[in-house]
Amino acid sequence: MFAEIITIGDEILIGQIVDTNSAWMGRELNKIGVSVKQITSVSDNAEHIIEALTEAQKRAGIILITGGLGPTKDDITKLTLSRYFNMPVRRDEATLTNVTEIFARLNRPMIDVNIKQADVPDGCEVIQNKNGTAPCMWFDVNDKVIVSMPGVPFEMMYLMEDEILPRIQAKFKLPFIVHQTILTTGLGESFLAQQIEDIEDALPKHIKLAYLPKLGLVRLRLSAIGTDEAVLKAEVGLQAQKIIDRIPAYVAATQDVPLEKAILDVMQAKNLSLSTAESCTGGYISHLITQHAGSSAVFAGGAVVYSYDLKESVLGVKHQTLTDFGAVSEQTVTEMAAGAIEHFKTDYAIAVSGIAGPDGGLPGKPVGTVWIAIGTKDKVVAKLFTFTNKRLQNIERSATAAFTMLLNLLKQDLN
């Protein structure tokens, strides 16, 4: 069963907002055995909406539409659907009651445009929106399902979870879709593909392998579709193990989690603590760590030390070290890591210092030069990296490289 997602709104096309709705819907549909065939974003224009809907029906049996259901003049989805399905507009009393109750709770007056939110195409099934004023509309036409939902993410999510997904499962006989993700680091996509080429070539026809590269990382996703979930899981697990056994040194996790979360899980299981000492990454590494619930079980804290003075006063880096070797040097990051271990009283520490760019390069230290150190109470391992002249990429690459170094050290220490 294929689905297509249509998002409506000029704000998406001009980049004013990011379309997170489609990514979330795609994941949730996949869990129930529905594959998304295409995602289309269109402007607040009736002809564009009609064209997208017409084309979508040629490809998919389920079409999910978000956006354009507000009370203002640019919200034209409802009237466009009425025209498309040749359905007159009627006032839905249940929706009007819902809107009235919401405005009463907010102690705000109802005006004509709010009342008109209860107007819907006469022929759709109205699904009440318990978290907003815009109703959800379900059209069952020619064995296809078209659903129009609000674009507000939390309203859409509640409707999907409580109403739309269960209805889709009840209406269609759906297959099982099984995935397993292997997170790899330290090996580029082409080299990785070369290492496992024979395994990939021998995969059964119903199992597919996808490469999902990111700066410094590659996720390998095995996917299978069929009618027996237990059999699919066993088959995918067998193929995943073949890959893991082939490249054990590069495997960071055997589930779909970010690299830092994989590290947090390992460290928490071993009751280990971590701190950070960041210069060029400006707290980005700490941010990646602390975005995960429960990170405090591992992460004690850290310091962002851009200036020489703070490197000295906060972390105890020697003034002579900075004078002789500079902030971007093996000697400085080694002392930063050791200082973090001493001052934050943790088992491990990450230290990073570099030239993120786009300017600031020095003779022998061009933009993109980054030194990273991983420290413990007994040792510090430092490594030089040379990235690009793109500031944000350099910060992201530095974080990935630091986590990779930490993971490798943990593997050595724990084996």
* Domains present along the chain, CATH in parentheses: 2-171 (3.40.980.10), 178-253 (3.30.70.2860), 259-414 (3.90.950.20)
Using CA atoms, how far residue 334 sits from 70, 129, 330, 381, 403, in Å, is: 56, 57, 6, 7, 16
Q: How far apart are CA 44 and CA 377, in angstroms?
A: 60
Token pair in block for residue 223 = 């996917």
Q: Report whether 122 contacts 93 (CB < 8 A).
A: no
DSSP states along 221-275 = EEEEEES-HHHHHHHHHHHHHHHHHHSGGGEEESSS--HHHHHHHHHHHTT--EE
Q: What is the mean pLDDT of each run of 10 residues along the chain (415 residues)?
A: 95 93 96 96 96 96 94 87 96 92 89 90 95 94 94 96 97 95 95 97 96 95 96 98 97 96 98 98 98 98 97 97 97 98 97 95 94 97 96 97 97 92
Among 135, 58, 172, 31, which residue's Cα sits nearest to residue 40? Answer: 58
Residue keyed to tokens 């309203």: 155
Q: Give dist(CA 19, CA 62) in Å, integer.
A: 19
CB 90 within 8 A of CB 119: yes
Strand partners, 303: 277
Instruction: Concatenate the DSSP letters of all residues of 41-103 into one string.
Output: EE-S-HHHHHHHHHHHHHH-SEEEEES--SSSTT--HHHHHHHHTT--EEE-HHHHHHHHHHH
Q: Check: CB of residue 149 under 8 Å from CB of residue 65.
A: yes
Report helix, strand or coil for 12.
helix
- At 142 the pLDDT is 87
Tell whether the torsion through CA atoms of 278, 280, 285 and 286 is positive or negative: positive
The alpha carbons of the chain give a radius of gyration, in whole angstroms, of: 27
Tokens of 331: 């000697």
What pLDDT, on a 0 to 100 scale, did the predictor assign at position 313?
Answer: 97
Instruction: Report the C-alpha gap between 117 and 112 in whole angstroms.
Output: 9
Spell out the residues 6+ positions from residue 236 whose beta carbon is closer than 8 angstroms to its own. 178, 179, 180, 207, 222, 223, 224
Distance CA 366, CA 9 (A): 43
Cα–Cα dist 248/241, whole Å: 10
Beta bridge partners of 274: 299, 348
Please name every residue paired with 224 in a beta bridge, in sequence order, or none if there are none: 178, 207
Q: Which helix (H) or strand (E) holds 321?
A: helix 319-325
124 phi, psi to nearest 5 deg: -90, 160
Which pTM does this prediction carry? 0.83
Element (H, E) at 25: helix 20-31
> Is the distance from CB of 125 to CB of 138 less than 8 angstroms?
yes
CA dist list (Å): 256 to 63, 183, 262: 27, 7, 9
